[in-house]
Amino acid sequence: MKKQYGQHFLTDTNILGVIERLAELAPDDVVLEIGPGEGVLTRFLAERVRHVHAVEIDRDLEPLLADIAPNVDIVFGDALRLDLPQDATKLVANLPYNVATPLVVESLDGLPNVGLWCVMVQREVADRFFAAPGTKDYGAVSVLVQLATERTGFHPVSRTVFRPPPNVDSALVAFRRTELPESFARIKQVVSAAFGHRRKTLPNSLALAGLVSRERAAAALEALGRPENTRAEALTPPEFVALTEALA
């Protein structure tokens, strides 16, 4: 058990049925699992889908993960640095807490064949994915996830299903790909810059990030019908698409 990896291993098999339902597991699925840990979910997936790609950072777990099933391949390394398998159709995982958000964001365009996500994350992260504009949970990840997907399921998870029990609540959240906007890479830049200085107005945030001048950002906002003192959390996800187009 290594604290630096944010490891909380799944031990209660009752939650597996909920994962199966929310992930809509089917025999032809190719599943990517990040952070298999001791392999509880991995074994469950292997019995229900065509293939499982499992990525684990902790090599000490290698003896527990060896020879799980013939349709499982285990790769050891940092999922944020590896070239992840492009044939995965679903991402189903008890995500390590410290990498959950960047992994999901990077998978939106980095894994274009993934059509459905079912991930166990901290409850506050799950809430953030589909937070509404103007709320405290709304941020860059909310905008990007909502531009690419729609939520299909949500299930609060007790701390007791993990070993060791985390100090925070968790949740399973499932979402399905809709359609990735054109210029998503550029939209990501604009969104990240916009929320980079949350207390500042949007033109100031974009200028501080070196993306565009303050004047140009203010003009783009005006084209959207928004005043120049607008902050990032006021804009809806579609408005960020329009803002990116206006800045171009």
Q: What average pLDDT does range 239-247 have in this prediction?
A: 97
Number of structural domains found in the chain: 2
Q: What is the pLDDT of residue 8?
A: 65
Identify the CATH number of the domain in which residue 241 sits. Answer: 1.10.8.100
Is the model's pLDDT at 9 over the cut of 80?
A: no
**What is the percentage of the chain residues whose pLDDT exceeds 90?**
84
Q: What is the pLDDT of residue 4?
A: 47
**Pick from 87-96, 156-165, 209-218: least confident:** 156-165
Identify the CATH number of the domain in which residue 116 sits. Answer: 3.40.50.150
- How much is the mean pLDDT over the chain? 93
Is the model's pLDDT at 83 over the cut of 80?
A: yes
Same domain, 15 and 98: yes
Q: What average pLDDT does range 54-73 have in this prediction?
A: 94
User: Could you read off the pLDDT of 197-238 as tens digits, one per residue?
Assistant: 988 999 999 999 999 999 999 999 999 999 999 999 999 999
User: Could you read off the pLDDT of 30-62 as tens digits, one per residue?
Assistant: 999 999 998 999 999 999 999 999 999 999 999
More confident residue, 37 or 27: 27
More confident residue, 115 or 164: 115
CA distance 211 to 189: 8
Same domain, 76 and 162: yes
Same domain, 241 and 161: no
